[in-house]
Amino acid sequence: MKKKQQHGGGGDCPAPRLPAAAAAGGGPGPGQGGGWKRRRPLSPLPFLSLRDYGFCMAALLLFCLGSLFYQLNGGPPHFLLDLRHYLGNSTYLDDHGPPPQKVLPFPSQVVYNRVGKCGSRTVVLLLRILSEKHGFNLVTSDIHNKTRLTKNEQMELIKNISTAEQPYLFTRHVHFLNFSRFGGDQPVYINIIRDPVNRFLSNYFFRRFGDWRGEQNHMIRTPSMRQEERYLDINVCILENYPECSNPRLFYIIPYFCGQHPRCREPGEWALERAKLNVNENFLLVGILEELEDVLLLLERFLPHYFKDVLSIYKNPEHRKLGNLTVTVKKTVPSPEAIQILYQRMRYEYEFYYYVKEQFHLLKRKFGLKSHIRKPRPRPEFFIPSPLETEEPIDDEEEDDEKWLEDIYKR
């Protein structure tokens, strides 16, 4: 007598029927401990399904079509070209060898709108040497006596500068240009100024008698100057209020920083304040000629791709010989009375000069530079009660120098 199979429900249940193949071959069925699986179709890659393989082939086809379209439509975008220029034209071996030495300078657009008789010829001599040494593009101009430009002239000059090969440093005697006004990228500006009276005296005698580079170079610069004007006594020019020794001719430095607006050529508060604003917003550094070595040190710190080793070149005896040739000859000192009159006429120039000087000394303190110059002469008396006198900058010793330098570059 056979026993009946018991189930949880207590009822009779027929045994499950096996597939014919399993029954015939004696293979295990689903309920007998075997893993009965459905066979997959053959695939070129065993770990991919046919659907995954088709997806990969479609992606490859799209990539090939996109690459063809990309090449037929002018090649890579500008940012890839810039990246290629930054990294250099490397090969596989280059990528696995020593890192390339050339690094794209930052910033790569610098303008030195040099102020006349403020050491600019000395700095240009240095720049010619540095451009060959470091490989940047030094862009100069043959125009020396046109600082004020019409709107069309501004647009044309900005266009020519902006299309120069980067990294470039453009230099010319020209009042500040606002590149962004005409849709261009605003470059980094640098400049150097000096004591206004000293600058005026240097220019006065240079126009008449030149410098040590040649006895006749002043005749080339001012061929139409009459003899009585060439040998005009400086005290007579000042005390008798000749045009060359009075305003607006004495209002010379501020327009280089104020800009091309007509009011920038009018001595007054408006031009002064606008010049200060541009110094703060657009100039990386405005140095003082009386402290030229410190100016060069800071330029080397801020712009090493342009000014690395500039101080050692400047101190080289061979360069010193060239620099001495640019010293103005036959320069004399006016009487104290004439000097005091110049101070009064150049009131705004001195306001700007002392403002820049204080900002420059703030930079020096931030980088641990100390002044090694002789004691400066006292300021003119009319500056003492002046409400525009710039307060002494606060020296924040806890500020990180490298972080501050990054902020400077972001201006």
**Alpha-carbon dihedral angle through residues 111, 196, 240, 144, given to the nearest 10 degrees:** -20
The answer for residues whose C-beta is within 8 angstroms of residue 265's C-beta and 6 or more apart is 148, 248, 251, 255, 271
Round to the nearest angstrom and report the end-to-end CA distance of the chain. 103
Strands (E), 94-180: 109-112, 137-139, 168-171
CB 165 within 8 A of CB 87: no
Catalytic residue among 173, 261, 361, 372: 173
207 backbone dihedrals φ, ψ, rounded to 5°: -60, -30
Catalytic status, residue 173: yes
CA max distance for the chain: 151
Angle between helices 336-345 and 196-209 (to 10 degrees): 110
CA distance 289 to 263: 27
Classify 125 as helix, strand or coil: helix
Instruction: Indicate which residues carry an active-site annotation.
Output: 173
